Amino acid sequence: MDVITAIKERHSVRKYEKDHKISEETLNEILEATIEAPSSWNLQHWKFFVIDDEKQKETLLPIAYNQQQVIDSSLTIAVLGDLEANTNAERVYGEAVESGYMNEEVMAALLSQINGAYENKQFARDEAVLNSGLAASQLMLAAKAKGYDTVAMGGFDRAKFVEVFDVSSRYIPVMLIALGKAAEPAHGTRRFPLEDVVVKNTFK
């Protein structure tokens, strides 16, 4: 499936074939495509918490306000944003130096810039949400390209999720994504026409 087709055919599905299993190989293919998403400074501000165990699904259900797709889908992925993504910078740019893409002077300047920006906690939080959101969108399109359906869920108790699943304070839950085989087709949704959402050059 080409990208444009995947975009046009992806719709939020809430009813899933309960017993359908996704192979580890297929899930990894989806996740490998997901982590190709762009990110600020290539810091890759994401962590993916996969829940496919039936008991863990039952644990998640009330945290997700009893949304049945948490139980019926093959798995749910919690997309977590990294509040300390700046600590990835030395690894990211160290590899770039080793590969000859930049020198150590440029690396040092970038590290200083990044760590300076991350002194602002709101900036760190905004970046965690923004960049993990880019990956989440890519995940849903990758799943569709592999013949699977998804629904993104922002409605869940984030504080309870962190507590129950013992999530490190380094990460914030951004969204849940149920993933599986649709039990019935999703209904399509209309989008505003381009003239309502596109502005060129000036608002005047």
CA 142: distance to chain centroid?
11
State the pLDDT at residue 38: 98
Q: Is the dihedral of CA 115, 120, 124, 130 positive or negative?
A: negative
pTM summary value = 0.94
Instruction: Return the CATH superfamily for domain 3-197.
Output: NADH Oxidase (3.40.109.10)
Please state which of the ranges 18-32, 60-74, 187-201 shows the lowest mean pLDDT.
187-201
Between 204 and 134, the higher pLDDT residue:
134
Question: CA-to-CA distance for 48 and 78, rounded, in angstroms?
Answer: 6
Q: Round the average pLDDT of the chain to a whole number and report it.
A: 96
**Looking at residue 73, what is its pLDDT?**
98
pLDDT digits (tens, 9 = 90+) for 118-157: 999 999 999 999 999 999 999 999 999 999 999 999 999 9
CB atoms closer than 10 angstroms to residue 139: 24
pLDDT of residue 83: 98
* pLDDT of residue 185 exceeding 90: no
The domain locations on the chain are 3-197
How many residues can be counted in the chain? 204
Instruction: Determine the straight-line distance between the first and last CA of the chain, rounded to whole angstroms.
Output: 41
**Those residues with Cβ within 8 angstroms of residue 64's Cβ, 6 or more apart along the chain or in another chain:** 70, 76, 153, 155, 156, 157, 176
